[in-house]
């Protein structure tokens, strides 16, 4: 079972990720990737779209607003090709290193 992950001092829960994504029927698969750059946490919402939907800047902005509203953490949406996000992947993938 996926666990909550602390990002910029706030816990992000897998259920929040689901809540942010379920509002958009265009989304087929999704995953949150947490990374660290210049000592700052970065949250990226990876999204595969259904069918032949062409990602628009407007859709990207709406999803980013939705994710921020649910998680209280600003994140960036990145649209990825179908098949990029495998079945059974963790909803929140923490790739930060603490060196």
CATH code at 30? 3.30.300.30
Q: How far apart are CA 11 and CA 36, in angstroms?
A: 16
Q: What pLDDT, on the 0 to 100 scale, is given for residue 29? A: 94
Q: How many domains does the chain have?
A: 1
Q: What pLDDT, on the 0 to 100 scale, is given for residue 85? A: 94
Ranking 1-5, 28-32, 73-77 by mean pLDDT, the lowest is 1-5
Please report whether residue 99 resides in a domain.
no
Query: What domain range is 32 assigned to?
Result: 5-94
Structure-token pair, residue 5: 């992950």
Please state whether the predicted TM-score (pTM) of the whole model is above 0.75.
yes
Q: How far apart are CA 17 and CA 33, in angstroms?
A: 11
Please report whether residue 47 resides in a domain.
yes
Beta bridge partners of 77: 45
Please report whether residue 32 resides in a domain.
yes
Q: Are 63 and 75 in contact (CB under 8 A)?
A: no
Computed over every residue of the chain, the mean pLDDT equals 90
Please report whether residue 63 resides in a domain.
yes
Per residue in 36-67, pLDDT (tens digit) is: 988 899 999 999 999 776 788 899 999 999 99
Structure-token pair, residue 53: 């939907």
């Amino acid at each position: 079972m996926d666990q909550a992950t602390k990002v910029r001092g706030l816990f992000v829960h897998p259920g929040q990720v689901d809540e942010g994504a379920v509002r958009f029927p265009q989304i087929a698969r999704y995953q949150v990737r947490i990374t660290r750059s210049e000592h700052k946490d970065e949250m990226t919402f990876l999204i595969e779209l259904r069918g032949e939907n062409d990602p628009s800047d407007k859709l990207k902005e709406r999803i980013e607003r939705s994710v921020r509203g649910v998680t209280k953490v600003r994140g960036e949406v990145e649209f990825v090709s179908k098949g990029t996000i495998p079945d059974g992947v963790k909803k929140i993938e923490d790739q930060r290193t603490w060196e």
